[in-house]
Amino acid sequence: MATAGEIEIVRYDDHYREQSMEVLRKSFFLHEMVCIGAEVNLSPQAQRDLEQLCLDVANGGVSMVARHIPTDTIVGVSFNVLQTPSAPEDSNYFELFRDTKCTTDSSRALMQYMITMDAKVNLFERFNVSCLLEIMFLATLPNYGGHGIATRLVQESVRLAEDIKTDKAVPTAQDGATSTSKPQLVSALFTSRISQRVGEKAGFTVINQVPHAEFIYRDRTFTDRIGPDHPFSTLVVRHI
- pTM here is 0.95
CATH classification at residue 37: 3.40.630.30
Answer whether 212's CB lies under 8 Å from 226's CB. Answer: yes
Sheet containing 73-83, strands listed edge to edge, beginning at the edge strand earlier in sequence: 7-11, 64-68, 73-83, 132-140, 185-190, 232-239, 205-211
Helix (H, G, I), strand (E, B) or coil at 71: helix
| Confidence (pLDDT) at 2 | 66
Residue at 135 is within a domain: yes
Residue at 75 is within a domain: yes
Residue at 235 is within a domain: yes
Answer whether 101's CB lies under 8 Å from 53's CB. Answer: yes
Domain that holds residue 50: 7-239
- CA separation for the pair 41, 6 (Å, rounded): 30
With b for 16 or more beta-carbon neighbours within 10 A and e for fewer, the 193-213 pattern comes to ebbbebbeebebeeeeebebe
Residue at 41 is within a domain: yes
| Confidence (pLDDT) at 178 | 62
Answer whether 133's CB lies under 8 Å from 187's CB. Answer: yes
- CA separation for the pair 59, 70 (Å, rounded): 26
Residue at 1 is within a domain: no
Residue at 62 is within a domain: yes
- CA separation for the pair 3, 148 (Å, rounded): 10
Residue at 2 is within a domain: no
Residue ranges in the chain whose pLDDT is less than 70: 1-2, 4, 174-178
| Confidence (pLDDT) at 1 | 60
Residue at 199 is within a domain: yes
| Confidence (pLDDT) at 87 | 82
| Confidence (pLDDT) at 104 | 98
Number of domains in the chain: 1
Indicate the burial class of 229 (C-beta count within 10 angstroms; 0-12, 13-18, 19 or more). exposed
